[in-house]
Chains A and B, each alone.
Chain A
Amino acid sequence: MPASVSNYGPAPSLLELVDTPFYSQRQYECGPAALMTVLTVSGVETTLDAVTRQVYLPGRQGSLQSELLAATRAAERIPYVVAPALASLTGELAAGRPVLVLQNLGVSWAPRWHYAVVIGADKENEQIVLRSGTDERRVMRTALFLRTWKRSGFWAVTVLSPGELPADADRDRYVEAVAGLEQTGHNQAAREAWRAGLLHWPDDAGVQFGLANTEYVLGNFAASESLYLDMLKEDSSSLIARNNLAMTLVALGRNDAALEQIEMALEHATGSPLLEILQDTRRITLDSMQSTVD
């Protein structure tokens, strides 16, 4: 096991979130039980039956990873897949969040896939504490835990409330997670998450773009206009910002300004993979001018 994975990280050497609730699993339903645990800690009010309905797959006698992520979004929370390292788990624990992990308790050719929730780590005694299956407090040697976790590709997810940042503040993972929330239509939650991101990474174009797009979807066109303009101030060649600015101006009824922006973008778009989209925007702008005249 490489040290980069098995290192406990800078978190306190003895951690245990003793107040984490425990939901004993029914047969094959470790996924619902583990998800219920982390959602409840995040303040989601739900029931084990409701969560089971969202993630249990009878024909497979189990739950898929992507369904756990989707159900987290359904609860207006951000499923944040942490980096594959023990330090990611201890970092989240130190921030008060237990972490849902996927383990293979069997072997590669006869796997026994199991979801559990890491609630504690003891560096001195080399132990990991979990809410696991029907075990309210399962203590595993760290080395064994890491072996079972490794077989799942170190898959682990923590549940963030909109506005919370992950302990490792990994920009790419955060943007990916919030973009997923936005793509599935949870725009209010996404807006709050982008705003929190913008406080931490004020000049990041990806985060600005995310917030601007979310404001657009929510119909706050003035807010998205000013965010796209911020992006263009930093990088006047950003075609994605200029395209969406033009669409925003159309929505605001400022078709002339929109046309000016999209023509400016098209001037620099020769050979760009975005060309087709920019042309669509130009057409939409012209249509809008036409219908205003009519």
Chain B
Amino acid sequence: MRSTIFRNFVVRFVSLSILSLGLAQASGAAMIGTQQGIQSEARDARIMHVQAILSRTDVAEQLVLFGVDPAAVQSRVGNMTDAELLALEGGLDKQIAGGDAVAVIGVVFIVLIILELMGVIDIFKST
């Protein structure tokens, strides 16, 4: 319980510091950035940049919730591009995470549960 409260506090703190970092970067707004300029729709890129600044907070929170040391989060999100931040927003769990873990997901999981309930397997029992 106590650690949950602490974790929430840390998440808020990290969010705030990162949000202010993003806003600082957004000033000088009338310069057109390279990424913005090389895209055909510069205005879209500008909107994307503002969205990315906001999504940085979300991604930072998710990183902490997924076990990243809060002290390392700033550097991790700070080195992501707008496009990368937007791709991760709200979906750290949906991304490919290379790490050799064999993930049993979705339908396979449901099939396993049914088999378990039917008594065909006992994969979920802890002995």
Contact = CB atoms under 8 A, between A and B. Distances in A.
SS of A interface (majority): helix
A111 to B, nearest CB: 7
B43 to A, nearest CB: 4
B30 A59 contact: no
Interface stretch (A10-18, A24-32, A135-143): A24-32
Nearest to A182: B34
A84 interface: no
Nearest to B35: A179
B34 A60 contact: no
A33 B37 CA distance: 36
Interface in A159-179: 175-176, 178-179
Interface residues of A, number: 62
Contacts of B104: 110
B103 to A, nearest CB: 7
B29 interface: yes
Contact of A110 (B65, B88, B99, B102): B102
Contacts of B67: 57-59
Contact of B72 (A54, A182, A273): A54
A281 interface: yes
Given A57-B67, A66-B88, A280-B30, A133 B38 contact: no
Contact of A184 (B41, B65, B81): B81
A64 interface: yes
Size range of the interface on B?
Answer: 35 or more
Contacts of A180: 35, 81
Interface string B1-40: 0000000000000000000000001000111111111100
Interface string A81-109: 00000000000000000000010011001
B93 A114 contact: no
A152 B98 CA distance: 10
A69 interface: yes
A87 B15 CA distance: 43
A209 interface: yes
A111 B100 CA distance: 9
A158 to B, nearest CB: 17
Given A213-B31, A243-B30, A277-B46, A61 B84 contact: no
A64 B88 CA distance: 10
A147 to B, nearest CB: 17
Interface stretch (A1-9, A36-44, A70-78, A120-128): A70-78
Interface of A: 27-31, 53-55, 57-67, 69-71, 73-74, 102, 105-106, 109-115, 133, 152, 175-176, 178-180, 182-185, 206, 209-210, 213-214, 216, 240, 243-244, 247, 273-274, 276-277, 280-281, 284
Interface of B: 25, 29-38, 41-44, 46, 63, 65-69, 72, 75-82, 84, 87-88, 92-93, 95-104, 107-108
